[in-house]
Structure 1
Amino acid sequence: MTGPAGEVQAAPGLALYACSDATSRGREHVEPPPSDRTGYQRDRDRIIHSTAFRRLEYKTQVFLNHEGDLFRTRLTHSLEVAQIARSIARALRLNEDLTEALALAHDLGHTPFGHAGQDALGECMRRHAPQGGGFEHNLQSLRVVTTLEERYAAFNGLNLSFETREGVLKHCSRRNAQQLGEVGARFLHGGQPSLEAQITNLADAIAYNNHDIDDGLRAGLIDLEELQTVPFFAGHLDAVQRAYPAVQGRRRVAETIRRMISALIKDLVGETSRRIAQAGVDSPDAVRAAPPLAAFSAPVQEQLQQLQQLLLHRLYRHPDVLRNTTKAQRLLTELFEAYHADPRLLPRPYQREDAARQPRAIADYLAGMTDRYAIREHQRLFSMRDWPVY
């Protein structure tokens, strides 16, 4: 939207530093603008209808999908991130539609079996394609929305707005950034993504730290005594016990986690507002040129790091979790090696005549698998249980 002198104005209800259709850098492939929704709403809708989004239902967050119906998956995690991120965006007068699109897209490229799968594919790519850029799940998410999705006749991928593609890419090596054009420029020349992307990254941390506590307690891998060594958790648990002395069990845990999420959101909004005012940003480009603006306050960041350290040592490195991690890494590595040794085992769309391009195609195929499909595919290739016994 432009003012009387042609200068860019904020869209109704949005801050000057928020992204809007009027300030968007557009799409790779020119399309007529939507008539009944904003460009970022179109992005969100395309993400929700993508094949990669549906697969998130059967991809591991921490606990394997078959271990229990109530544990988070990549899909439920993404929905929780979207809810938290939209709350933050609304408080800061940012673009909620762009924020939601980023939250729903941020894990589209994640492998089966969580970070264990990512580590296994990364090692396979380093071994078989040392110049091929390795494997990183948010770079794979960008690859999904720009190349791998096949839903439109006119282009590969989803043809999302620049701001959505920019925000999906949280980390990127210099070598990979050099191949990404404008989307990778900030990793070469410095700078930040939009504020919508910055708050979504932190909403991701709020979501996984708190729901991993919930899932870890439900699985019996951590207990309240351990968690009470972290002041942030202990303080909120004490407040719940004082306010509701008769409440026990799941309800007490749920109330504690609810309060922790609320406290983190409130702190993030307050600290980010302070930094925005201090920086005096008045446009999305000014946000990109400023230091990071979305942040927790120093005391809360320290408490959050204490919580993350406890989860790292007591939950993510719990023997039961590590056993499944080892199995998952071995499974994906064996699949990769089998496909690399004989690409004819792959579906035809993933077979490459150029051997140098084959490892990336294998990584694309494996990263797109759900947990249960990867397990089934491994059984097809390596199990002899279905063979007749003579």
Structure 2
Amino acid sequence: MRQEPRKLREEQETGLSGYAARSADSWGRLRDEPECSVRTCFERDVGRIIFSMDFRRMRHKTQVFFNPQSDHICTRMEHVISVNYIAGTIGRVLGLNLDLIEAIALGHDLGHAPFGHSGEKKLDSCLKNRDPALFFQHEMHGLRVVDHLALHHGRPGLNLTFEVRDGIASHCGETYDVYVLVPDRAKTPSDLEQLARLHGTPATLEGCVVRLADKIAYVGRDIEDAARAGLMEFDDLPQAIQSSLGRTNGEIINTLVMDIIQNSYEQDAIILSRERGDSMEELLRE
């Protein structure tokens, strides 16, 4: 009897690294539903994200610079596509689950505010003016989007797997310099929201890869946009940063990706060397 395609796909996952997430071992969804005969659970999540209205809205949402007259200024949608490519490159070499990486990468900024992190800070300030206990974090709002606001077959919520929801809620690493990400494998669906708000690490290596890829995707790209806006050039960066990371966005991405691969291979952690990590943080402060 011929085996159904989904089972074959799950069997193919046995060839992944011993540290990779397997779809057959997923914690599952908020609501039980029949399995697909063709796609794994993580593949289905990719489709739910890219066909959602919330994903389409990233098309004109600001990354950092706002310029509706230019086709070349980075948007939120371009950013998530870049994150997906960078994280996939790392994950492929490390033997991780590329379907899970893709779902997290494409969905990680569904809850982001317009006008980049300035918009996020303004919303957070407005909420705190009403009630000091209130807050706005785009990663937590992203979880709210996929769990409640986005629609799937007319029902509230995309009903994604725990691993994808966790990756979305735990992806944020802009405000601290952690270069060794060890997955929190003890995390469960019941404590996801609390731990994510405290900036806990993702539950999977795939989520850890996306968290670092998120930084890599924008650290040099923002300089490109600044140069296009006439604000600065790559040659304006300190010589130490240029020597450590590179003089173009492509060189910076390649340097950081290769560093992570070399330090993380056959490790149950995603590791960026201290030297490259310090240089990246210095560049982010420029």
Same fold (TM over 0.5): yes
Residue number in structure 2 paired with 1:202:
212
Deviation at 1:236, TM superposition (A): 6.5
Residue number in structure 1 paired with 2:20:
18
**Aligned in 2, Cα 1:65/1:103: closer, same or farther, shift over 3 Å?**
farther
* Alignment pair present for 1:222 and 2:232: yes
Q: Give the fraction of aligned pairs with identical amino acids, expressed as a percent.
A: 38
Native 8 Å contact 1:56 1:74 kept in 2 = yes
**Aligned in 2, Cα 1:65/1:30: closer, same or farther, shift over 3 Å?**
farther
| C-alpha separation in 2, matches of 1:186 and 1:31 | 26
For residues 93-112 of structure 1, the C-alpha deviation after alignment (integer angstroms, 9 at most, x for no partner) is: 01101101111111101111
Residue number in structure 2 paired with 1:141:
142
Matches within 5 A, 1:289-328: 293-310=269-286
* Alignment pair present for 1:263 and 2:265: no
Native 8 Å contact 2:245 2:255 kept in 1 = no
Residue number in structure 2 paired with 1:89:
91
| C-alpha separation in 2, matches of 1:193 and 1:60 | 29
**Aligned in 2, Cα 1:309/1:130: closer, same or farther, shift over 3 Å?**
closer
Deviation at 1:235, TM superposition (A): 5.9
| C-alpha separation in 2, matches of 1:60 and 1:94 | 31
Calculate the TM-score normalised by the size of structure 2.
0.83
**Aligned in 2, Cα 1:66/1:41: closer, same or farther, shift over 3 Å?**
same
Aligned mate of 1:122, from 118, 124, 127: 124
Runs (5+) with no aligned partner, structure 1: 1-8, 173-179, 238-252, 282-292, 311-390
| C-alpha separation in 1, matches of 2:231 and 2:212 | 25
For residues 230-270 of structure 1, the C-alpha deviation after alignment (integer angstroms, 9 at most, x for no partner) is: 42424666xxxxxxxxxxxxxxx7xx322221121110111
Let me know the Cα RMSD of the aligned residues: 2.4
For residues 295-346 of structure 1, the C-alpha deviation after alignment (integer angstroms, 9 at most, x for no partner) is: 2111111221221222xxxxxxxxxxxxxxxxxxxxxxxxxxxxxxxxxxxx
| C-alpha separation in 1, matches of 2:60 and 2:75 | 7
Residue number in structure 2 paired with 1:181:
190
SS at match of 2:223: helix
Deviation at 1:140, TM superposition (A): 0.5
Native 8 Å contact 2:223 2:234 kept in 1 = no
For residues 24-68 of structure 1, the C-alpha deviation after alignment (integer angstroms, 9 at most, x for no partner) is: 000011011111111101001100011111000111111114152
Equivalent residue letter for 2:230: G
Deviation at 1:207, TM superposition (A): 0.5
Deviation at 1:127, TM superposition (A): 1.7
Residue number in structure 1 paired with 2:160:
160
Calculate the TM-score normalised by the size of structure 1.
0.62
| C-alpha separation in 2, matches of 1:149 and 1:235 | 42
Deviation at 1:192, TM superposition (A): 4.5
